[in-house]
């Protein structure tokens, strides 16, 4: 009896530790979900004299992808982002994070430019407002400008299919 | 000697860089940076980390304090963006009750088990009259 109690206790402990190992410590729950997307007004990457604000997207469900040319995982996820943008489910806005134009522009030329527009956040100040801490990051923002989803780290086809797509379809149906 | 000197310089460098402005402000920046987690290297504070984001956030702290914001304001700013996770000392609320009280619950449980066990231990059997006499004999 006592022996089995000890074994049971041990198994519970192993179970808890195993569950703990499955958790991704990078998945910090964002307090921004359900909150309005922080306001910004940033120059475009391609046309520095033009600017873009998150308000320009009001009325549309859209996706914001934070990337940088110096970020290897961004390169990894780029085909997924491109595929998603091509599917036309929602427009994708790029936020080029702490980058230099002379690096970012050739990067887009080399790897393809899936973005409707790319805004240029050289100082990374706007990214702080969005709670960015590990590029790439991806946000889904609804018609009213509320952040509905945030992914830290590269998008994968599974995440797009299981989370992002259904969410956008649902948000689009809602008025 | 030269090596020692360069080592000293190396050690002194951060203080020098820090000291180039208002030391009171820098002290407040540093003490806040010790309370906040670096999101990139999660087991370091903003003060310990040299990740670019940690530097940016330290600059944010400095700017905001310089602009007259209070420590509370800066912490609220960080929590609004990164959540409670950014706090090195998690707040006491519904979701953290287990975190804060768990160790004490376990301690109490352990103490209770220990007391129960000690109490259960059977008292030593009384000596018979013959044994008592024999013991007295041996002790003399």
Question: Does A19 map to a domain?
Answer: no
Structure token pair of residue A50: 């033009």
- The Cα angle at residue A18 between residues A13 and A20, in degrees rounded to 5: 95
In this structure, are B76 and B121 located in the same domain? no
The verdict on B77 and B125 lying in the same domain is: no
**If 0-12 CB within 10 Å is exposed, 13-18 middle and 19+ buried, where does residue A93 land?**
buried
**pLDDT, tens digit, for every residue of A71-118?**
999 999 999 999 999 999 999 999 999 999 999 999 999 999 999 999
- Which CATH number covers residue B23? 1.10.8.640
Is B85 in the same domain as B113? no
User: What ipTM does this complex have?
Assistant: 0.77
Residue B39 belongs to a domain: yes
Q: Which residues lie below 8 Å from residue A53, measured CB to CB, with a gap of 6+?
A: A39, A40, A41, A42
- Asked if residues B58 and B50 have their Cβ atoms less than 8 Å apart, the reply is no
CB A139 within 8 A of CB A30: no
Given CB atoms, is B81 within the 8 Å cutoff of chain A?
A: yes
Q: Do B57 and B106 lie in a common domain?
A: no
Structural domain of A50: 33-173
Asked whether residue B86 is assigned to any structural domain, the reply reads: yes
**What rounded mean pLDDT belongs to chain B?**
83
B120 touches chain A (CB under 8 A): no
**How many A-B residue pairs are in contact by the CB < 8 A criterion?**
38
Q: Which residues of A touch B106 (CB under 8 A)?
A: none
Q: What pLDDT is attached to residue B4?
A: 62
Residues B45, B70, single domain; the answer is yes
Q: What are the DSSP calls for B69-121, one per residue?
A: --HHHHHHHHHHHH-GGGBSS---SGGGHHHHHHHHHHHHHHHHHHHHHHHHS
Q: Given the DSSP bridges, would you call strands A137-141 and A62-67 parallel, antiparallel or unpaired?
A: antiparallel
The distance of Cα A146 from the centroid of its chain, to the nearest Å, equals 14
Residue A3 lies inside a defined structural domain of this protein: no
Q: What is the reported pLDDT for B7?
A: 59
Are B58 and B46 in contact, with CB atoms under 8 Å apart?
yes
Task: Give Cα separations from A53 to A38, A50, A141, B2 (angstroms).
Answer: 10, 10, 13, 56
Looking at the fold, whether B117 and B56 belong to one and the same domain comes out as no
- Nearest by Cα to B79 from B13, B23, B35: B35
Q: Report the C-alpha gap between B18 and A70 in whole angstroms.
A: 29
Domain count, chain B: 2
Report pLDDT for B19.
Answer: 47
Does residue B137 lie in a domain region? yes
What's the CATH code of the domain at A49?
3.40.30.10
Question: Looking at the structure, do residues B97 and B80 belong to the same domain, yes or no?
Answer: no
Residue that finishes a domain, picked among B52, B72, B91: B91
Answer yes or no: is B33 within a domain.
yes
Q: What's the pLDDT at A87?
A: 92
Considering the domain architecture, whether residues B53 and B86 belong to the same structural domain is answered as: yes
CA distance A39 to A52: 11
| Domain shared by B42 and B77, yes or no | yes
Judgement on whether residues B33 and B78 belong to the same structural domain of the protein: yes
pLDDT in tens, chain A (175 residues): 788 999 999 999 999 999 888 877 666 668 889 999 999 999 999 999 999 999 999 999 999 999 999 999 999 999 999 999 999 999 999 999 999 999 999 999 999 999 999 999 999 999 999 999 888 999 999 999 999 999 988 999 999 999 999 999 999 887 6
Mutate: best of A26, A31, A126, A150, partner B, most B CBs <10 A? A31
Number of structural domains, chain A?
A: 1
Shared domain check, B23 and B86: yes
Is A13 a domain residue?
no
Best interface-test mutation with A: which of B46, B78, B82, B88 has the largest number of A CBs within 10 A?
A: B82
Instruction: Please give the residue range of the domain that contains residue B78.
Output: 19-91
Determine whether the interchain pair B56/A129 forms a contact, defined as Cβ–Cβ distance below 8 Å.
Answer: no
pLDDT value of position A56: 93
- Count of other CB atoms within 10 angstroms of residue A52: 21
């Amino acid at each position: 009896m006592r022996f089995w109690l000890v074994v049971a206790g041990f198994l519970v402990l192993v179970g808890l530790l195993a569950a703990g190992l499955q958790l991704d410590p990078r998945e910090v729950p964002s307090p921004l979900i359900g909150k309005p997307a922080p306001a910004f007004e940033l120059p475009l990457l391609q046309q520095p004299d033009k600017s873009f604000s998150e308000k320009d997207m009001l009325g549309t469900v859209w996706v914001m992808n934070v990337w940088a040319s110096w970020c290897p995982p961004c390169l990894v996820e780029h085909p997924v982002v491109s595929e998603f943008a091509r599917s036309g489910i929602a427009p994708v806005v790029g936020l080029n994070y702490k980058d230099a134009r002379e690096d970012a522009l050739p990067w887009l030329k080399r790897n393809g430019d899936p973005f409707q527009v790319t805004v240029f956040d050289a100082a990374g100040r706007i990214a702080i407002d969005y709670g960015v801490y590990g590029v790439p990051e991806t946000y889904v923002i609804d018609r009213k400008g509320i952040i509905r989803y945030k992914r830290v780290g590269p998008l994968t086809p599974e995440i797009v299919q299981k989370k992002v797509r259904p969410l956008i379809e649902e948000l689009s149906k809602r008025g | 000697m030269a090596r020692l000197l360069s080592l000293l310089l190396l050690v002194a460098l951060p203080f020098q860089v820090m000291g180039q402005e208002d030391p009171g402000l820098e002290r407040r920046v540093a003490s806040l940076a010790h309370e906040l987690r670096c999101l990139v290297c999660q087991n370091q504070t903003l003060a310990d980390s040299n990740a670019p984001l940690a530097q940016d956030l330290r600059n944010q702290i400095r700017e905001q304090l310089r602009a007259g914001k209070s420590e509370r304001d800066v912490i609220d700013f960080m929590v609004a963006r990164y959540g409670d996770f950014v706090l090195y000392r998690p707040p006491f609320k519904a979701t953290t009750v287990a975190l804060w009280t768990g160790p004490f619950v376990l301690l109490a449980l352990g103490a209770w088990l220990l007391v129960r066990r000690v109490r259960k231990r059977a008292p030593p059997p009384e000596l018979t009259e013959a044994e008592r006499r024999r013991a007295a004999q041996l002790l003399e």
